[in-house]
């Protein structure tokens, strides 16, 4: 990429990027094109990181090993769902992933764990994610049963927390 194109792309992406400054955006653009390889830009051809290249970066850079999580993170970056992470998706995704606010990161994590995209994390989705994230321990107990128990305990605690918040809200209303 010539210097003039790089400068224009850097300025454009910096304007819309909340968490990186101009120098950082320029460095990330250069890194992106290094990762993609020496590709000649042609009209109508998408230049980007495909799912496998992106997963490799997640594995090598962030130590991710869970296939499902890596696929979900890829989907979070690939906003236009074309099967490639382009340079702007790369910059905006890393901005959120590395420097996003707590609220932005929580929203992103929710999208990663909401496997069917229905706006809820079901028991089954929770089970699936926990199953792939817990260390395998040799024991006589069925590991799936242990994970199901963990999901049940978590849901009960969430309900109890919700009940406590509901109780506090009722107390506030009574005091008013």
Q: pLDDT tens digit string along 132-148?
A: 666 555 565 666 777 67
Long-range CB contacts for residues 125-134, cutoff 8 Å, separation at least 24: 126/151, 126/154, 126/155, 127/151, 128/68, 129/68, 129/69, 132/66, 132/67, 132/68, 132/69, 133/66, 133/69
Asked if residues 6 and 23 have their Cβ atoms less than 8 Å apart, the reply is: no
CA 125 to chain centroid: 16
pLDDT per position as a tens digit, 95-123: 988 889 999 988 888 888 888 889 888 88
Q: What is the pTM of this model?
A: 0.70
């Amino acid at each position: 990429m010539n210097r003039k194109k790089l400068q224009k792309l850097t300025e454009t992406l910096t304007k819309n990027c909340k968490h990186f400054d101009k120098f950082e955006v320029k460095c990330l653009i250069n890194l992106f094109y290094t990762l993609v390889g020496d590709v000649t830009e042609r009209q109508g051809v998408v230049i980007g990181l495909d799912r496998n290249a992106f997963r490799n970066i997640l594995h090598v850079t962030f130590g991710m090993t869970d296939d499902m999580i890596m696929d979900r993170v890829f989907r979070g970056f690939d906003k236009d769902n074309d099967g490639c992470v382009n340079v702007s998706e790369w910059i905006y995704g890393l901005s959120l992933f590395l420097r996003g606010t707590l609220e932005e990161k929580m929203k992103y994590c929710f999208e990663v764990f909401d496997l069917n995209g229905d706006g809820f994390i079901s028991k089954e989705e929770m089970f699936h994610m926990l199953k792939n994230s817990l260390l395998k321990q040799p024991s006589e107990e069925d590991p799936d049963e242990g994970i199901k128990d963990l999901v049940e305990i978590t849901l009960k605690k969430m309900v109890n927390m919700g009940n406590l918040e509901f109780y506090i809200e009722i107390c506030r209303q009574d005091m008013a």
